[in-house]
Amino acid sequence: MENILLEYPYNNHEHIALVKLNRPKVLNALSTDLMEELVNTMLTLDKNPNVRVIILTGNERAFAAGADIAQMVTATPIDQINDQRFRTWEMLKLITKPIIAAVNGFALGGGCELAMSCDLIIAGDDAKFSQPEIKIGTIPGAGGTQRLTRAIGKSKAMMMVLTGDMIDAHTACDWGLVAKVVPAQTLMQETFELAKTISDRAPVAVRLAKEAVNKSFEMTLKDGMDFERRNFYLTFSSGDQKEGMKAFMEKRNPTYQGN
C-alpha cells in the first residue's frame, strides 16, 4: 500500500486500528488508488474479530483536501462512471465497526464527505471544513449535499455548498458536524481515549447500535423505531448482554467477548 498507512494494534491496543491517509504532498487528495486501498484496508479490519474500533486520520496539515482534482480536470461523465470511484466510496457503508474520523487541518470537498462517512468526527482546533466544489465549477458528489444537510440543516448547508467557504472547527462543532473539538496537538491522544472507551463496550451491542443510528438517515421515524426495537431484542441473544447485566448486578466491571 502506498497511499494508506495502517497501524494495528494502535498504541499496542489489540482492539484499536489506526488508518492514516498518506499523500502528504497533495494534502491527501483522494485519488482512485487511495480510495481503493482505503476501502480494502477497512474491509480487512472489519473482518478481524479482534478489531473493535477504527480511527481514520490524515496529518497535521490535512485530513484530506478533496478528491484528486488532477484526475478529474479533463474527465468526461463516462470517465467518471468507468472509474468506479463512486462504487468504491459506497463500500465504506459496509463497515460494521465504528470508525472515528480524527481531523486536523483541511477536510474539504471529498475530504469533508469522507469524514462524514465515518461514524463520528473529532476535530483538532485548527481543522477546517468546506464543500468547495462550487469554486471549481462542480458540486459535491459523495454526500456533501445530503449528509451535510442532515448534519447541520438546510440553511447552513446551503451556505457552505453555495459559497464553498470554509468553517472552522468550533463552528463545525456548534453546528453539529463535529462531536468534539480538542487542541490540535492532543487530537490523536484524545481520539485514542475515546476509541478505548468504545472498545470497552459490548461489541455486539456497538455494532447493532451503529446500524440503528445509521438507519435513522434512511427510514421514517416509525420504521426506524421498529428497526431499533428489533436490534434491541437481538442484543438479548448475545453473551455480551448476559455478561453486561450480570456484572452490573454483581457490582463488577464486565468482560465482553463480542459474542
Least Å distance, CB 162 to ligand CO8, is 15
Cβ closest to ligand CO8, residue 62 vs residue 212: 62
3-state secondary structure of 179: coil
Task: Classify 106 as helix, strand or coil.
Answer: strand
| CA atoms 239, 244, 245, 251: torsion sign | positive
Catalytic hit among 110, 124, 143, 144: 110
Active site residue 133: yes
Q: In what order do the strands lie in the sheet with 62-64?
A: 62-64, 106-108, 128-130, 167-168
CA 146, distance to chain mean position in Å, is 15
Nearer to ligand CO8, 1 or 70 (CB): 70
Q: Is the peptide bond between 77 and the residue preceding it cis, with omega within 30 degrees of 0?
A: no
For 157, counting Cβ atoms within 10 Å of its Cβ (0-12 exposed, 13-18 middle, 19+ buried), the class is: buried
In the complex, the smallest distance separating the C-beta of residue 175 from ligand CO8, rounded to whole angstroms, is: 20
Residue type, 140: P
Left, alpha or beta for 251 (phi > 0: left; psi -120 to 50: alpha)? left
Tell me, yes or no, if 151 is annotated catalytic.
no
User: Smallest distance from the beta carbon of 221 to ligand CO8, in angstroms?
Assistant: 30
The answer to whether residue 67 is catalytic is yes
Contact between residue 34 and residue 80 where contact means Cβ atoms under 8 Å apart: no
Measured CA to CA, the distance from residue 74 to residue 23 in angstroms comes to: 22
Indicate if 144 belongs to the active site.
Answer: no
Which of 182, 93, 190 is CA-nearest to residue 142? 93
Cβ–Cβ under 8 Å, residues 20 and 57: yes
Which residue ranges make up the site for ligand CO8 (CB under 6 A)?
26-27, 29, 65-70, 85-86, 89, 106, 108-110, 132-133, 136, 140-142
Which of the following is catalytic: 133, 144, 169, 202?
A: 133
Residue among 99 and 212 whose Cβ is closer to ligand CO8: 99
* Cβ at position 89, least distance to ligand CO8 in Å: 5
- Residue 78 is which amino acid? I
Cell matching residue 58: 490524515
Question: Residue 2 Cβ, how far from ligand CO8 at the closest point, in Å?
Answer: 16
CB of 142 to ligand CO8, least distance (A): 4
Question: Between residues 8 and 129, which has the closer beta carbon with respect to ligand CO8?
Answer: 129
Active site residues: 67, 110, 113, 133
